[in-house]
Homo-oligomer: A and B are copies of this chain.
Amino acid sequence: MVTTTYQVQGMTCGHCVNSVSTEVSALPGVTDVQVDLASGRVTVTSESPLDTDTVRAAVDEAGYDLVGA
């Protein structure tokens, strides 16, 4: 298992948290997603290391931006 923390910009409420969580959870190999609204931190647990661009695309699909990386 691999745990990676990403920084996401633009989440303002619980609905935003749900959207990001749903999209990232749907990625192959992802077993857990924890989103902290206040900090914008998204912690993803996966069976193997994730491609950052794949995570970025999922976050983008939810309507938000991955910061850095």
Q: How many copies does the complex hold?
A: 2
Write the chain B residue with the least CB distance to A10.
Answer: B13
A interface residue numbers (CB < 8 A to B):
12-16, 19, 63
Given pairs A12-B12, A13-B16, A15-B16, 6 additional interface contacts (CB within 8 A): A12-B13, A13-B13, A13-B15, A14-B63, A15-B15, A15-B19
Residues in B with CB closer than 8 Å to A13 are: 12-13, 15-16
9 A–B contact pairs at CB < 8 A? Answer: A12-B12, A12-B13, A13-B13, A13-B15, A13-B16, A14-B63, A15-B15, A15-B16, A15-B19
Most buried by B among A14, A15, A16: A15
